[in-house]
Amino acid sequence: MQFSDFSLDKRLLTSLEHMGIDKPTEIQEQSIPVGLSGKDLMASSKTGSGKTLAFLLPAMQRIISTKALSKRDPRVLILLPTRELATQVYSQLRLLVANTQYKALKILGGENFNDQAKALARDPHIVVATPGRLADHLKQRHLYLNGLELLILDEADRMLDLGFAEQLRAINQAADHKRRQTLMFSATLDHGEINEIAAELLKEPVHVSIGASNVENQDITQKVYLCDNLGHKEKLLLTLLKQEQHKQVIIFTATRSDTDRLATKLADEGFTTASLSGELKQSARNQIMDQFSRGQQQILVTTDVASRGLDLLNVSLVINFDMPKLAEEYIHRIGRTARAGAKGDAISLVGPKDWDNFKQVQLFLRRTFELSEIAGLKPKFSGLKAKPKGKPATAKKAAQNKTRPAKPKSTTKTKDNRDKRFITGVDIGDAPMLRKPKSTLQDTPEE
Ligand code: AMP
């Protein structure tokens, strides 16, 4: 099948040609006809599968080929959970609008509100936004969505994890008319709130599912090394980095303090290194991502702020210096390599503190990893035994439990029972959720 088999405007086909893209991917083959038909869509598809064009092409086709419902309101609104993802979608969109007279605008948290209000007053046809900031502009009446024809929610599961349900509902309400079409994309449909919000936002959607979220990309070679402690981890890391030539490397750490420390260490070892964490100002984050994507550094050390969707074609190795707290995040992290059909490697360093998370990843993927070793750096650690339920693990713990008052139970579970502590601090500036006071954030896994 070719893109020319869809009835797409010539200008869009020319843009695709310029992008070097000719054959649709599976998600595109299945989603574009639904998008073009005007029906609602609920799609799940693994990361890096070409989702962005699966919704941008029908969106552009609609704008080009039909008359606007309103002269002033945006015709298409695309919502994404993070600024990085929104920026990435916007850059693909710009390639498509380049050949046309239509105006696209990006509205992100962390950027100047008044400038955004002025840009909205120039009546863009397509808006790409993070939901928190867009909802703020709606409240201030800087835009109206009565004429919205197409609402697109990308990475909807992540938007819900970040606590954006209320904003999504407000946006839905503002665009509540019969002629609106909605396309919802989610990495997983196996998510407590997704079906709830889909029932509210979508009308008899067509379901498209391309590969479950726990299906691994076969182009990624995954290895696991056990480590005794932080020092051992760092030695392994340096050895692995020096052992083979890699194009670009992303290293994921659990905390922002680790990110900075590790980046400094690697720079001392002579690697060109950047570090990125959610606490940086948006302009600094944009600059870091921009430089890294242009190949100015070989290594990016980051927290999960960079685990989703980012399309960095030269990343040939992903290293989990710490295992992610949420097993699903593992798939997103390693999905930063082997983009668009290339091959890649993923290495996980698993110490005693990572053990439980590592087990969760294995459960999630339904596989047991073989363990790799490097001569001279063999670990003593060989895994932890499961603790017997209900009994304190050691005599010391038993003594502590007698003297310490019981901790109040966490009230931060999400509906699907995931522990929100690890998802709330997540994004990235404009998430509306409860945050811990700054002073306690220092060593909490943030993204
Ligand atoms: P996405 O999943 O939308 O982030 O896309 C992942 C990467 O695949 C991006 O670099 C796209 O430019 C690329 N891509 C999207 N569609 C196609 C296609 N039909 N053929 C080849 N590459 C594609």
Per-residue pLDDT, 340: 66
- Cα 83 to ligand 1 centre (Å): 19
User: What is the C-alpha to C-alpha distance for residues 257 and 244, in angstroms, rounded to an integer?
Assistant: 27
User: What is the C-alpha to C-alpha distance for residues 423 and 158, in angstroms, rounded to an integer?
Assistant: 9
Q: Residue 19 CA: which ligand 1 atom is closest?
A: 12
Question: 19 and 154 share a domain?
Answer: yes
Question: 361 and 317 share a domain?
Answer: yes
* H or E segment and range at residue 250: strand 248-252
- pLDDT(428) > 60: no
Q: Is the dihedral of CA 341, 342, 343, 346 positive or negative?
A: negative
Residue bearing the CA closest to ligand 1, atom 23: 50
| Position 313 confidence tier, pLDDT thresholds 50, 70, 90 | confident
- Cα 122 to ligand 1 centre (Å): 31
Per-residue pLDDT, 420: 34
Query: Tens digit of pLDDT for each residue in 194-249?
Result: 888 999 999 999 999 886 555 567 788 999 999 999 999 999 999 999 988 888 99
Residue bearing the CA closest to ligand 1, atom 7: 340
Residue bearing the CA closest to ligand 1, atom 21: 21
Q: Mean per-residue pLDDT for 68-95? A: 95
- pLDDT(157) > 80: yes
User: What is the C-alpha to C-alpha distance for residues 444 and 44, in angstroms, rounded to an integer?
Assistant: 30
Per-residue pLDDT, 371: 94
Q: What is the mean pLDDT of the chain?
A: 83
Q: Residue 309 CA: which ligand 1 atom is closest?
A: 4
User: Between vectors from CA 351 to CA 348 and to CA 357, what angle results, nearest 5°?
Assistant: 70
Q: Mean per-residue pLDDT for 391-397? A: 47
Question: 191 and 230 share a domain?
Answer: no
Question: 83 and 188 share a domain?
Answer: yes
- pLDDT(144) > 80: yes
Query: Tens digit of pLDDT for each residue in 248-280?
Result: 999 999 988 889 999 999 999 999 999 987 777
- Cα 50 to ligand 1 centre (Å): 4
Question: 262 and 198 share a domain?
Answer: no
Query: Measuring from each residue's beta carbon to the nearest atom of ligand 1, which residues come in under 6 Å?
Result: 21, 23-25, 28, 48-53, 309, 311, 339-340
Per-residue pLDDT, 186: 86
Q: Mean per-residue pLDDT for 348-357? A: 96
- pLDDT(308) > 90: no
Per-residue pLDDT, 194: 86
Residue 148 in any domain: the answer is: yes
Residue 333 in any domain: the answer is: yes
Residue 263 in any domain: the answer is: yes
Question: 103 and 241 share a domain?
Answer: no
Q: Which residue has the higher pLDDT, 111 or 418?
A: 111
Q: Residue 45 CA: which ligand 1 atom is closest?
A: 2
Residue 418 in any domain: the answer is: no
Residue bearing the CA closest to ligand 1, atom 17: 50
Query: Tens digit of pLDDT for each residue in 22-58?
Result: 899 989 999 999 999 999 999 987 667 889 999 999 9
- Cα 108 to ligand 1 centre (Å): 23
Q: Give the domain CATH number at 304.
A: 3.40.50.300
- pLDDT(401) > 80: no
Per-residue pLDDT, 389: 55
Domain final position from 334, 350, 372: 372
- Cα 375 to ligand 1 centre (Å): 39
Q: Residue 88 CA: which ligand 1 atom is closest?
A: 4
- Cα 359 to ligand 1 centre (Å): 32
Ligand 1: which of 21, 46, 95, 308 to mutate, most ligand atoms within 8 Å of CB?
21
In angstroms and rounded to an integer, the radius of gyration of the C-alpha atoms of the chain is: 23
Residue 321 is part of which domain span?
220-372
| Position 439 confidence tier, pLDDT thresholds 50, 70, 90 | very low
Per-residue pLDDT, 255: 84
- Cα 95 to ligand 1 centre (Å): 13
Residue bearing the CA closest to ligand 1, atom 12: 50
Enter the tokens of residue 268: 């001392």
- Cα 57 to ligand 1 centre (Å): 12
Question: 204 and 333 share a domain?
Answer: no
Q: Residue 92 CA: which ligand 1 atom is closest?
A: 12
Question: 148 and 293 share a domain?
Answer: no
- Cα 29 to ligand 1 centre (Å): 13
Per-residue pLDDT, 258: 87
% of the chain beyond a pLDDT of 70: 82
Enter the tokens of residue 40: 């609602």
